[in-house]
Structure 1
Amino acid sequence: MKAAALLLAGSMALAACASDEPTGSGSGEGGGGTATEELRVGLAYDTGGRGDQSFNDSAYGGAAAAVDALGGELQELSPNEDASNRVELLTQLAEQGFNPVIAVGFAYDDVIGEVAPQFPDTTFAQVDGSNTDGAKGDNVTGLVFAEEEGSFLAGVAAALKSESGHIGFVGGVQSPLIEKFEAGYVAGAQAVNPQITIDRQYISPAGDVSGFGDPARGQIVAQGMYDAGADIVYHAAGGSGIGVFQAAAASGNRAIGVDSDQYLTVGPELQPVVMTSMLKRVDNAVEQFINDYSEGNVQGATDVLNDLSTEGVGLATSGGFIDDIQGEIDQYRQQIVDGTITVPTTVE
């Protein structure tokens, strides 16, 4: 893919949007900036871009908060329809002097390893992309999460609240990352009720990222679970999750959101069905990384883990739907933090 790193002339049209903030303390080259240099943050989104009310929006929130606090500039780029231009996005940001450059999503796994070594003076980070072995370059930091731990608590909540003893899981794209959500959810539900029935289905197969941006398909998959008797469905499907909520509303059931507190991002008509959301604090991770960069504290060739112990994952309480079971949820949470419970990361 190195040949593709030559930026296409038309790639400027790929920007979803850009916001220029007042200049302030910020960036530099390599591991961090100095107070006399302007912070210029580049953000390359996952499929669907900003507006997904989930993963990408959370990344934007963290980057925007950091830039608001530190001063500087934030440039956002989104993939094209088939997401074939990820190399061009990262290359464009680096060539234009944005530093740090943050890639959002595991789909950048291969391309960031192609681009980052070509720009050794640019600091990169990848949300959901590990780089503990440095294979992607010495200037890449992985921002990773214990999704299975937060999903375990979502499974606990679903099993405690289910009246039918039948729940569901909708994944966006079948992949090791999304299987962590599934594995944790199943383990949590079975910890409460070993006999619980759990329907599981992915919107698209491995390698097809369209499953993160297809609400219509998400609604069909979830509706099939509700029709089969499930009364609560958890989604880890990005922008497709709105379809899961619509299916829950149409069938008089409930759903569990993901990444951000989706009770706060859906309209009033869907709020009654969003029982809770598994919070994956991409916003906090991105904001902290930019802060660390501005202070010269980024090492590279390493991962920053966000888990229950750091409050990098958890459950939202908006709406008050899980208030009555919060004590039980907290007990499971503490057992995970203490190491009494080890949450699986793969499905059986």
Structure 2
Amino acid sequence: MSGMSGMSGSSMPGGSSGGSGASSGSGQTSAEQFPKLTGDPGTVKLGMAYDGPKGDQSFTDSAARGVANATGQGVQLVAELAATVGEPDQKKVDRLSQLVDQGANTVIAVGFDYATAMGTVAEANPDVHFAIVDDASLTDPSRQGGPLKNVAGLTFAAEQSSFLVGVAAALKSTKGHVGFIGGVNVPLIQSFQAGFDAGAKAANSGIKIDDKYITQPPDFSGFNAPDKGQTIAQGMYNGGADIIYSAAGGSGTGVFKAAKAANAKAIGVDSDQYNLPTLADVKDVILTSAVKNVDVAVYAMIQSVAAGKPLTGTQVYDLKNGGVGYATSGGFVSDIQSKLDDYKAKIISGEIKVPSTLG
């Protein structure tokens, strides 16, 4: 699970003007955002490299949904491989190279921590199409040596969806005290905090906000440490917060457990976590979720290769093109939905500029 740090670029190819999770109620990707693949899907030989195992109920699983929708239409899945926590970049280089060696002509890496490795492998394989989720360093025009022409940077305006759930938290808090828990203290996750804090303060200038991170780099285990997420959340709830936004991947399950024990609320991330079967026992504490449609970005990359026009450069998925949004499942924000949509409209129009960095 990752964010993005205020990149700008072209709009989402093939996306809809709506957004799953915006006002659709489900927060999951809507059918129109998976248009039938055009061109020749059978020519796509796909290799997927995840930054953690499937089953995180958010970031990785969202990417996997995009893959599933494509393979159901004839795309060949060469292999799906996952990283381990704290592994060196060379292991990521080996993993990406393995996908190429196995015949993949399209390689998608899910997670910004693949950037260094992808730079190496993409330069060595100019005829292979690469994409990386949550990173634009390889497609940055100011990059030393210039942007890589066979790479697409799939980035998300996570600060925009985080702003909206920040508004929701402030409006629904009865104590005027909310919290943010990030998985790892890196710029990409700081953009979630920046948006959330700004949204909460926009709705209530006097709101108290607790901001904490589970781990500090180079320790990236904070994205899959539910026990630590639960402990931090318990401390926040005991300290007076009544709603906590967790931007911490699989660690969010611990935050939900803490919310349940405290008779409080929490906010999910990346997918509409209220609707996930594995979270059925805590769904009643999930106020909303900041939805990031990684599945749509992954699918768009696959579609572009099938159509013979592979995406390159930085692709930004935001509120305007339906790349991010907020979930309404459970009806907990129904009474404030009109206010949330007003803020959404102002962000889309540019009237509200959401910060993507702290400070």
In structure 2, what is the Cα distance between the partners aligned to 1:308 and 1:34?
Answer: 28
Structure number with greater CO (CA < 8 Å, separation at least 6) is: 2
In structure 1, what is the Cα distance between the partners aligned to 2:39 and 2:330?
Answer: 43
Q: CA deviation at 1:155?
A: 0.2
- For the Cα contact (< 8 Å) 1:117–1:136, is it kept in 2? no
- Please identify runs of 4+ aligned residues in structure 1 that moved more than 4 A: none
1:51 matched to 2:58? The reply is no
One-letter amino acid of the counterpart of residue 69, structure 1: Q
Q: Name the residue aligned to 2:98.
A: 92
- For the Cα contact (< 8 Å) 1:189–1:196, is it kept in 2? yes
Q: TM-score, normalised by structure 1?
A: 0.87
Q: Name the residue aligned to 2:309.
A: 297
In structure 2, what is the Cα distance between the partners aligned to 1:152 and 1:112?
Answer: 31
In structure 2, what is the Cα distance between the partners aligned to 1:176 and 1:286?
Answer: 22
**Alignment RMSD (CA, Å):** 1.7
One-letter amino acid of the counterpart of residue 303, structure 2: N
- For the Cα contact (< 8 Å) 1:278–1:313, is it kept in 2? yes
Q: CA deviation at 1:37?
A: 5.1
In structure 2, what is the Cα distance between the partners aligned to 1:269 and 1:121?
Answer: 47
Q: CA deviation at 1:81?
A: 4.1
Deviates more, 1:249-258 or 1:80-89: 80-89
Query: What does 1:224-243 correspond to in 2, within 5 Å?
Result: 224-243=235-254
Q: TM-score, normalised by structure 2?
A: 0.85
Q: CA deviation at 1:268?
A: 2.3
In structure 1, what is the Cα distance between the partners aligned to 2:236 and 2:227?
Answer: 15
Alignment partner of 1:304: what SS? strand
- For the Cα contact (< 8 Å) 1:261–1:318, is it kept in 2? yes
One-letter amino acid of the counterpart of residue 49, structure 2: A
In structure 2, what is the Cα distance between the partners aligned to 1:174 and 1:193?
Answer: 25
Query: What does 1:198-213 correspond to in 2, within 5 Å?
Result: 198-213=209-224
In structure 2, what is the Cα distance between the partners aligned to 1:260 and 1:132?
Answer: 28
Alignment partner of 1:310: what SS? coil
Higher-Rg structure is 1
- For the Cα contact (< 8 Å) 2:86–2:218, is it kept in 1? no
Q: Name the residue aligned to 2:128.
A: 122
In structure 2, what is the Cα distance between the partners aligned to 1:240 and 1:325?
Answer: 28
One-letter amino acid of the counterpart of residue 79, structure 2: Q
Q: Name the residue aligned to 2:46.
A: 41
One-letter amino acid of the counterpart of residue 192, structure 1: A
In structure 2, what is the Cα distance between the partners aligned to 1:96 and 1:116?
Answer: 15
Q: CA deviation at 1:259?
A: 0.3
Q: CA deviation at 1:110?
A: 1.2
1:288 matched to 2:286? The reply is no
In structure 1, what is the Cα distance between the partners aligned to 2:273 and 2:285?
Answer: 10
Consecutive unaligned residues in structure 2, runs of 5 or more: 1-35
In structure 1, what is the Cα distance between the partners aligned to 2:41 and 2:258?
Answer: 52
Alignment partner of 1:76: what SS? strand
In structure 2, what is the Cα distance between the partners aligned to 1:36 and 1:102?
Answer: 16
Consecutive unaligned residues in structure 1, runs of 5 or more: 1-24, 27-32
In structure 2, what is the Cα distance between the partners aligned to 1:35 and 1:67?
Answer: 12
1:253 matched to 2:257? The reply is no
Q: CA deviation at 1:136?
A: 5.9
1:340 matched to 2:351? The reply is yes
Q: Name the residue aligned to 2:192.
A: 181
One-letter amino acid of the counterpart of residue 102, structure 1: I
Deviates more, 1:266-275 or 1:171-180: 266-275
In structure 2, what is the Cα distance between the partners aligned to 1:280 and 1:36?
Answer: 25
Q: Name the residue aligned to 2:3.
A: none
One-letter amino acid of the counterpart of residue 320, structure 1: G
Aligned length: 316
In structure 2, what is the Cα distance between the partners aligned to 1:68 and 1:344?
Answer: 39
- For the Cα contact (< 8 Å) 1:167–1:231, is it kept in 2? yes
In structure 1, what is the Cα distance between the partners aligned to 2:73 and 2:264?
Answer: 41
Q: Name the residue aligned to 1:309.
A: 320
- For the Cα contact (< 8 Å) 2:41–2:75, is it kept in 1? no
In structure 2, what is the Cα distance between the partners aligned to 1:311 and 1:36?
Answer: 24
Equivalent residue in structure 1 for 2:284, among 262, 272, 285: 272
Alignment partner of 2:268: what SS? strand
